[in-house]
Amino acid sequence: MAWFRKSKEGLPTQEKRNIPEGIWTKCDSCGEVVYGKKMEELLWVCPNCDFHFRIPTQKYIDLLLDDGQLEEYDIEISSLDPLKFKDSKKYPDRIKAAQQKTGKTEGVIAGMATMGGIEISFAIMNFQFIGGSMGSVVGEKIARAIERAIEKEVPLIIVSSSGGARMQEGILSLMQMAKTSALLAILHEKKIPYISILTNPTTAGVMASYASLGDVILVEPKALLGFAGPRVIQQTIGQDLPDGFQSSEFFMDKGFVDKIVNRKDLRDTVIALLRFMWSK
């Protein structure tokens, strides 16, 4: 449409309308453009449509835990390459790249902390690390976080965000589902509370194991939740899927989660639940 621009002198050109990156943020959900500093204040929640942007794990740690303090455990364990897996990249190279990108050895951070003065075993998944995928190390660190909750008799809180099991470790990834679920059954028998917090997105093997086994399951608004992708389900059942399928709101409506919680209310909600469920 160059002829059109030429005929209208003085109109702003595309170059002039360009906004320096990082100052303004465009909402992925509604397209609203918000000033970056304002987004920080709003905890990266869109003021127009309530869409919750993905935020780094450290921001959740700062937001949820007393004084943002986490005594981290199992920092040293990292993945091996049992299947000698290679797709577009060798698996060890993929791990190395993820480690450089995140500054962490694996896709979950776990340790001991307090919330509202109550001691907890805490774990948070990192979506930046190979899509928050659950390999044997993620499974092991989650399992150890559950074991710490059992041994120390303290509530367990896990913040999930995951694309599912890590295909590069095949069956060893899938085994983590059974391992973590079995330990959660022991935690349940001991009557120690487990609060599962789901963030965007929580899907597949993680959703089908520990993420959906909380005594209370909290979820941020408009998160993508589910097991398989919509196309796979559609092909399997041969039916059209309903609107808003695989969202927090749909899951709430169907009784799969207990409460949709805005990020700014997350800490207070968890503390209130802990006080209600736990008296030690």
What is the smallest separation between the CB atom of 59 and Zn ion, expressed in angstroms? Answer: 19
Which of 32, 72, 93, 153 touches Zn ion by CB under 5 A? Answer: 32
Nearer to Zn ion, 27 or 192 (CB): 27
Span of 31-39, 139-147, 204-212, 255-263 interacting with Zn ion by CB under 5 A: 31-39
30 touches Zn ion by CB under 5 A:
yes
What is the smallest separation between the CB atom of 29 and Zn ion, expressed in angstroms? Answer: 4
33 touches Zn ion by CB under 5 A:
no
Pairing outcome for strands 108-115 and 259-260: unpaired
Residue 233 neighbours by CB under 8 Å, 6+ apart: 241
Question: Binding pattern to Zn ion, positions 45-84, x when CB under 5 A?
Answer: -x-xx-x---------------------------------
Span of 19-27, 170-178, 200-208, 238-246 interacting with Zn ion by CB under 5 A: 19-27
Residue 78 neighbours by CB under 8 Å, 6+ apart: 95, 99, 105, 106, 137
Nearer to Zn ion, 69 or 262 (CB): 262
Residue 85 neighbours by CB under 8 Å, 6+ apart: 91, 167, 168, 169, 170
28 touches Zn ion by CB under 5 A:
no
Give the residues lining the site for Zn ion (CB under 5 A): 27, 29-30, 32, 46, 48-49, 51
